[in-house]
Every structure is written in structure tokens, then in C-alpha cells.
Amino acid sequence: MNPVPFTPDEVERIADDVVEKYREHVNPGAANLLKFAGFGVPEWAGEGTIVRDMSGKEYLDFVGGYGVFSLGYCHPKVVAAVEEQLHRLPLKTQYFLSQPVADLCALLAEVTPGRLQYTFLCNSGTEAVEGALKCARVFTRKPGIISAVGAFHGKSLGSLSASGREVYKEPFYPLVPGFRQVPFGEIEPLREAIDQDTAAVILEAVQGEAGVRVPPDDYLKQVRDVCDEKGVLLILDEVRTGFGRLGRLFAADLYGIEPDIICFGKALGGGVMPVGAFMARAEIWDAMFGENPWLHSSTFGGSPLAAAAGLAAVRTTIEEKLPERAAALEPRLLGGLRRIQERYPAIITEVRGKGLLAGVQFADADVAKLVITAMGHEGVLVAYSLNNPCVVRLEPPLIVTEAEIDRALSVMEECIEGAASALDGLM
Ligand code: PLP
């Protein structure tokens, strides 16, 4: 991995300078929080499952960029594909067709379930969701969108309207009209909520930011049936779950359903480029682009560079059998977390997950934060859940080894032990 060329004095100077510039020009709250928690040294390089800061300290990464680094950092096949394209034509001319775009979209049509055939490439998950919502409205000519309580679909206005935590929504009211939420994992409230104005239902297969909420096994099939019965579209948001995370290439495969529209982001860029996408069946595409091929467009979306990264990422995920790997490692990760829960039942109330997406529900949000920080100091990064602060998330690259899972588990256990002793001391 790229070595750190700085002396300790230089690192201190650079770190102070970066924190100060963040305070003055980027995000003072984030800068203060990270500095206070002891993570004021900026990131430097990453390789595989390891990320290194500017002081040379290495971290085992179980945040995985919230699902971006499924292939780990700097996967050589993705880096090589991007480098080759970089020196020729990184961004699109806006005039000609592009071979990497054609190849990636054709590959996605081949590997995604059912009749999903056409793809629009964009730059982020939230853009993919925006496009999917527009597709649903233009196809049905209806305004209504139903999503789930606790959902996270992004932070632009449309996707935020479908998301589920007030603290991120209320300051921006009024949001887009026509959105309503029903409890996740329950079929009857959904059936009742659909009316003559409903265009689509949008769901995550497993809710990530809500704290890894796994629905009953037959939930998505029931949702599919209800959508068919009532004649509304089903949008599956696989921005987090797509490309192997849950132990199958797609969550739609795992739950045996065919969505009408699907959204991707995160891992699609192979950890090297920002790439988002939404896909749909031919007749839905026809409503969106049939009359006007530019009804929806993006200057940077579908750049040759992003498409080269996406193509290498999807091929590598399949060639290296990473979904199968996620499924095989699930019992080690979830089993290990459940053993920790058994030892600390007053601190951990539940362990949930699928594949290599795990959520540990703490009884107290402050203890969850303490554990995240303590694990970071011990060199293992785990994540906070935006829509459920009591839940610590583990989302390692799919290339993670058994030994690395064992290390993360033992560091988590030590940190929980530490938190338990500190709490005892306070009582
Ligand atoms: N959808 C889901 C399920 C997500 O988890 C996220 C991000 O975490 C998004 C959409 C939004 O993606 P982005 O942050 O790339 O806009």
C-alpha cells in the first residue's frame, strides 16, 4: 500500500491544517466531532480491507464506505480498467455513443432478474432513486409513492420524501407531495395504503440505515403480489444490497421477486468511481424515453470512466464469486455477534443481518457510540446507523477473510467489556 512519507511533526501540522479548513470551509460540526473522538488525522490510502491514515496507522474497515467497498479498496482489476479509460476519454463527448456504457448496460440486463432491460447511469444512489420515481410517475401518470417507515433512499428532495426519519426531513418541509409511509415488513397496512393515485411502492429489501431491519422471508413476495393485484409498480432500492452484499448477486434473487424498477449505487463503482443506475422493463422505458430520449439526462452520468469501473466491478464480483463468499461468511459474522450478545444481554438487545450486512442493536445509543469510537481506536472501523442510532453496523468488504472477521469480533467484545465496566463504575 502507498507508504506514508511524513514525519510525525508534519502529520501533526497537516492534521491541524485540515481540521481548521474543515471548520472554516467544509463542516465545522463534523470536524469538531471527529477531532474530539480522536480521529483528526486525515485518511491517506487503502488496499483490500485496510485503510491507512496520514500517520501510518492502519484500520480494518468494517464500514466499507457504507457498502461502496464491496471489492475492497483499489481492486487491481477496477483500477486497471479505470486507468486505461482515464488516459483516453474520461468523460463523455455528449455527442457520440460510448462502448463501455453499452457493455455495462447489456451486462446489467443479463445479470439482473426478470425483464429488467434498460439502464440509466448516474452518479449516486439518490439520483438513481430520483430517476426511478420519475419513471414510475411517467409510466403510470399517477403521483402517489408509498415507502416504508425507517427507510433510507437518499437526501435529495424526492428520495428524502420517501425516506423515514423526521430529523432529516422536517427542516426542509414542504417536501415532494404524494408520498406516504407504511410500517416495514407488514403487508396489510401496505395493501390498505394503495389507492387509485398510487404509482409505485419503493422499498429496500433489508433496511440499512434503519439499523439492518430484515423483513419476514415472504414479505417481498407478498408485496409483489399486492402490487400486481392493485396494478402499481414495485421499485426495489438495491443501492446498498446490490452486487452481493446479502449473499446473492441481488436481494431480488434472494427473495425470489422481479421488481419493475431497480436502483443501484455504491458497490457498482467497484470502490473506485461514483456510479449509480436505475433499470426498468421495456414498456416502462418507452414511457420515459420513447417520445423524448432526453426527458431525463445527466451531464456526468454514464461517463466512460464510470462505465469502465462499473463493468470491471460487476465482472469481478461475479468472477470472484463474492456473493457466494458473503453467504458462506454470514454464519461466522452473525454467529460471532450472537455469541457476544449472549454474554452481554443487558447491553445488546438484538443481532440482525443477512450475508455480510450486520446490525447490532444496543439498549442505549450512547453506549453504541462509545463502542464505535473505542473500536476505531483499536483499529477496527464500524458504522453508525443514520435512522437508528442504537444500532452499530458491520458492512465489511466482501473480500474479508475469516481471520479478519474474528479480529473484528474480538475487538468488539473487548470494547463492549470496556463499556460494561465503565457503566458499572458509574452505578
Ligand atoms: N438508497 C439506499 C438504500 C441507501 O442506503 C443510500 C445511501 O446510503 C441511498 C439510497 C443514497 O445513496 P447516495 O448516498 O449515493 O445518494
371 within ligand 1 shell (Cβ under 6 A) = no
Our mutation pick for probing the ligand 1 site, out of 66, 153, 246, 261, counting the most ligand atoms within 8 A of Cβ, is 153
**Ligand 1 atom nearest 126 alpha carbon:** 16
Average pLDDT over residues 405-416: 98
Average pLDDT over residues 273-298: 97
What percentage of the chain has pLDDT greater than the value 90? 94
In the sheet that holds 58-61, the strands lie side by side as: 43-47, 50-53, 58-61, 380-381
pLDDT band for position 427 (50/70/90)? Answer: low
Q: Which of 269, 256, 261, 195 is nearest to 231 (CA)?
A: 195
Q: Which three cell numbers stand for residue 242?
A: 446490490
Amino acid identity at 142: K
Give distance in angstroms: CA of 238 to centre of ligand 1: 9
235 within ligand 1 shell (Cβ under 6 A) = no
Domains and CATH numbers, the chain: 38-74+321-426 (3.90.1150.10), 76-319 (3.40.640.10)
Alpha carbon nearest to ligand 1 atom 12, residue: 125
Average pLDDT over residues 345-354: 97
Give distance in angstroms: CA of 170 to centre of ligand 1: 19
Our mutation pick for probing the ligand 1 site, out of 121, 235, 266, counting the most ligand atoms within 8 A of Cβ, is 266
Burial, 25: exposed, middle or buried (Cβ in 10 Å; 0-12, 13-18, 19+)? exposed
126 within ligand 1 shell (Cβ under 6 A) = yes
Our mutation pick for probing the ligand 1 site, out of 204, 212, 240, counting the most ligand atoms within 8 A of Cβ, is 240
Amino acid identity at 292: N
239 within ligand 1 shell (Cβ under 6 A) = yes
| Entry pTM | 0.97
Give distance in angstroms: CA of 274 to centre of ligand 1: 12
pLDDT band for position 1 (50/70/90)? Answer: confident
Give distance in angstroms: CA of 153 to centre of ligand 1: 5
Give distance in angstroms: CA of 421 to centre of ligand 1: 36
Long-range residue pairs from 281-284, CB within 8 A, at least 24 positions apart, any chain:
281/114, 281/115, 281/116, 281/117, 281/118, 282/115, 282/117, 282/118, 283/139, 284/135, 284/139, 284/233, 284/260
123 within ligand 1 shell (Cβ under 6 A) = no
237 within ligand 1 shell (Cβ under 6 A) = yes
278 within ligand 1 shell (Cβ under 6 A) = no
Task: Please tell me the distance from the alpha carbon of residue 138 to that of residue 283, in angstroms, as a whole number.
Answer: 11
DSSP for 199-260, written as a single string: EEEEEESSBSTTT-BPPPTTHHHHHHHHHHHHT-EEEEE-TTTTTTTTSSSSHHHHHT---S
pLDDT for res 426 = 64
pLDDT for res 164 = 87
Give distance in angstroms: CA of 266 to centre of ligand 1: 8
pLDDT for res 48 = 98
Q: Which residues pair with 148 in a beta bridge?
A: 182
In the predicted structure, residue 371 carries a pLDDT above the cut 70:
yes
pLDDT band for position 228 (50/70/90)? Answer: very high
In the predicted structure, residue 171 carries a pLDDT above the cut 80:
yes
Q: Which of 336, 319, 309 is nearest to 399 (CA)?
A: 319
Task: Please tell me the distance from the alpha carbon of residue 253 to that of residue 303, in angstroms, as a whole number.
Answer: 28
Our mutation pick for probing the ligand 1 site, out of 70, 121, 126, counting the most ligand atoms within 8 A of Cβ, is 126
Q: Which of 83, 48, 69 is nearest to 308 (CA)?
A: 83
